[in-house]
Chain A
Amino acid sequence: MPPDASAQPPLVSVIVMTYRQAAFIEETLETVLAQTYSPMEVLVWDDHSPDDTWDIIERIAAAYSGPHTLRIHRQPENLGGVGNALSAVAACRGALLVQSHGDDLPYPDRVARIVDLWQRTGASMITHDVHLYEDGQVGERQVASLPHYVPGDRQLTAEQLAARSFIPEMQGATMAFERTVFDSFEPWDNDKLSVFGPGDNILPFRAALLGGLWYLDAPLTRWRQHENQVTKQMLQVSYTEQPVDVARGRETIYAFFITALLQRIRDLQHRMSQVSQPERPTLQKLLQQTLRTLIQTTGHWSGSRDILHASPLTLQWPERGGGAA
C-alpha cells in the first residue's frame, strides 16, 4: 500500500539496468536524473558490460550533484537480465520501485505521475504508454495506436489477465511496482524462467492478485528501437505475411508466453496456500482460466511449430549478440 498522500512524499527508487548500452546510457541518465519528483534514489545497475557503459556511468556519477541520490553498481560478472534486476530490487530502499531501461528516455514528469496514480489507487503496480523512438525521432504511442484502444486510466483485473497470454499494457519498460510483487511469492527460479523479460507477463499478474494493476494512459517514456534490443534479437520479427515468416516470430513469442503462464500457475498455487478459505474459490477460478489460456497458447505455439517443421525449417540456437530490452 502507498503511504498516506498527506504525509511526506515517499522515497521512490528508480532502477536503471544496463548492459552494452554505451551508445545510449548518457542520454538515458540525463533524462532519469532530470525527473521532477523528489525524494528519489536512482540505482544504475550494470550487468558487467564489456563495452564502455560502466566507464560512462562512473563519469556521470562522479560529476552529478543534483537532488536525487545516485547509486551505481557493477556486477562482478554477467548475471543476465533477471539476475541483475533481482540484485537491484534487493538494494532498493524506496516504497515504490520504478523500472527504467538503460536505453529508454523517460519524460521529466514520469515518476511524479506514476506516484500520483499509485497514491490515488493503492495499486501494487502502475504501467503506462510509451512513445516509440527511433533514430532521434519520436513516433506513435504504442498502446494508443492499437485498433481497440480505449482512452483513460484504468484498472486491469486478474480475471482480464488470466484470460490472455499478453496484453499490450504490460510493457516491461514502463513498470513501477511495490516490492510485494516479489516478497509475497516464492523466489524466482532462473531454471524455470529466462533472461528474456518474464517479468513483463508475470509481475503484472502478481500485482493484480495483490493491491491491483493500473494502467496510466499517457506516454511517459520514449522506448528506443534499435537492432541490439533483446526483444528484437529474441523474436524473429515478421516483416511479411508469409505463413512461415509469421510462424517464426510466433513460435518464439508463444514459447515465452507459455513460460510466463507456467509461472503464473505456480504463483496462483502459492497464493492459494497463503490466503484464507473464503478467498480460495476466486483464486481457483483464476487458476482454471489460466489453465485454459495455457492450453490455448500451447495450441498456437504447437501450430506454429508444425508450420515451421513442414517448411521444412529446423530450430537452431546461435549465440546472442547482447543488448537491452
Chain B
Amino acid sequence: MNIQISILVDARHGPPAHPIPTLPGEELLIAGPGQPIPLPADASEAAVFSALTEAARGPLLVWLRAGDQPLPTRTRMMQQAMRALGTPVVAHALVAIGPTNPRPVRLPPKLVPTPTISPDTFAFRRDVLTLARPTQGRAEGTRKKLAVWATRNGGVGWIGQPLLAAADRRLPSDPMAREALLARHVQAAHAVVEVARQPPLLPVALNQLLQCSEQWVAARCALVNAGRVPRWNR
C-alpha cells in the first residue's frame, strides 16, 4: 500500500486507551513499553522521536500522544493545512477553549517556542527530519526545535480547533511545582494573546489565557490558604 501518512504514537506513559482511527493510506506506529516499537517508559523524547521517525514510511508524519483521542479527520485536516499554507510543520489547538476556527493560519514565529503550542499536536514533513537534530534533556525539545527551525524555513501552520480529545496532562502533585508549571502556562498564553491581536487566533488565545490563569490562581490560592507566603530567593 502507498503510505501517505504515518501516525507516530508516543506510548511511553501507557498504551493507547482507545482504538486509533486510521484511513486508507495511513500507518500506525506505536512506541513504548510492550509496544511494536519497544522503548522503556523513561526513554527520552529524542529517543522516541528517532525510533518512530526511522520506522515511518509516509511523507507526512503526525504525532499522537497515547491516551489522546483524535478526530477521524485529524490527519487529513492537517495534511490539507500543510498543503494550503506550504509549511513543513502544522500544529493545532490542544483543547476546546471558546470559539474555534478550522481555517489554517501561519503562526507568528514568536509563538512557536511557547508551551501553548503543544508538540503533541504536530504534523511534519518527513523530508525536513534530516534538518532537525534530536535534542536531549528537554521533554519536548526535539519537536520544539524542529518547529523553531520551521519558522525560518516556510513557517508553522496552525489550526485553531482541537482535533483530538486530550487526555489529562498530569500536573505535578507537589503544590509548589504545580504553581511553577501553571505560571509558565499563563506566561505562554499571555505571549500568544500579545501576538495574536486579531481573529482567528485571538478568541482562542484569550480563552486559553483565562483558563490557564484560573488554574494557576487556584494553585496559588491553595498555597496561600494553606498558610504559605511567596518568597523569591536565591
Residues of A within 8 A of B (CB): 80, 190-196, 233-234, 236, 247-248, 251-252, 255, 258-259, 262, 265, 291, 294-295, 298-299, 302, 305-306, 308, 311-320
Contacts and interface: CB of A to CB of B under 8 A. Distances in A.
Contacts of B175: 317
B229 A312 contact: no
A255 B217 CA distance: 8
A248 B209 contact: no
Contacts of B220: 194, 255, 259
Contacts of A251: 230, 232
A186 to B, nearest CB: 15
A90 to B, nearest CB: 20
Given A192-B218, A302-B187, A316-B233, A262 B227 contact: no
A299 B195 CA distance: 12
Contacts of A248: 232
Interface in B204-234: 206, 209-210, 213-214, 217-218, 220-225, 227-234
B163 interface: no
Contacts of A233: 229
5 contacts: A248-B232, A298-B209, A305-B183, A317-B231, A320-B228
B225 A80 contact: yes
Contact of B234 (A194, A299, A313): A313
B190 interface: yes
Given A191-B218, A258-B217, A317-B176, A291 B206 contact: yes
Contact of A295 (B209, B221, B233): B209
Interface residues of B, number: 32
A236 B234 CA distance: 14
Nearest to A81: B225
A105 to B, nearest CB: 26
A317 B223 contact: yes
A214 B224 CA distance: 31
B3 interface: no
B68 interface: no
A195 B227 CA distance: 9
B204 to A, nearest CB: 14
B180 interface: yes
B232 A194 contact: no
A80 B225 CA distance: 7
A252 B229 CA distance: 10
Interface in B170-186: 175-176, 179-180, 183, 186
A193 to B, nearest CB: 6
Given A295-B193, A302-B191, A315-B180, 13 more contacts: A191-B221, A193-B221, A194-B225, A195-B224, A258-B213, A259-B217, A294-B209, A295-B194, A295-B209, A299-B190, A302-B187, A316-B232, A316-B233
A184 B233 CA distance: 42
Contacts of A320: 227-229
A262 B214 contact: yes
A94 to B, nearest CB: 29
Nearest to A302: B187
Interface in B37-53: none
A298 B218 contact: no
Contacts of B231: 236, 315-318
Contacts of B179: 315, 317
A236 B194 CA distance: 28
A91 B186 CA distance: 39
A262 B209 CA distance: 11
Contacts of A295: 190, 193-194, 206, 209
Contacts of B227: 319-320
B232 A308 contact: yes
A195 B225 contact: yes
Contacts of A308: 232
Contact of B221 (A259, A294, A298, A311): A259
Contact of A196 (B218, B224, B232): B224
Nearest to A251: B232
Contact of B186 (A191, A193, A265, A298): A298
Given A262-B217, A298-B186, A313-B233, A318 B228 contact: yes
B213 to A, nearest CB: 6
A314 B179 CA distance: 12
Contacts of B232: 236, 247-248, 251, 308, 313-316
Contact of A317 (B183, B190, B217, B230): B230
A148 to B, nearest CB: 28
Contact of B217 (A192, A314, A318): A192
Contacts of A259: 217, 220-221
Contacts of B180: 315
B216 to A, nearest CB: 8
B183 to A, nearest CB: 7
Contacts of B234: 311-314
Nearest to A233: B229
A305 B179 CA distance: 13
Q: Which of B180, B227, B228, B232 has the largest number of chain A CB atoms within 10 A?
A: B232
Nearest to A249: B232
Nearest to B229: A320
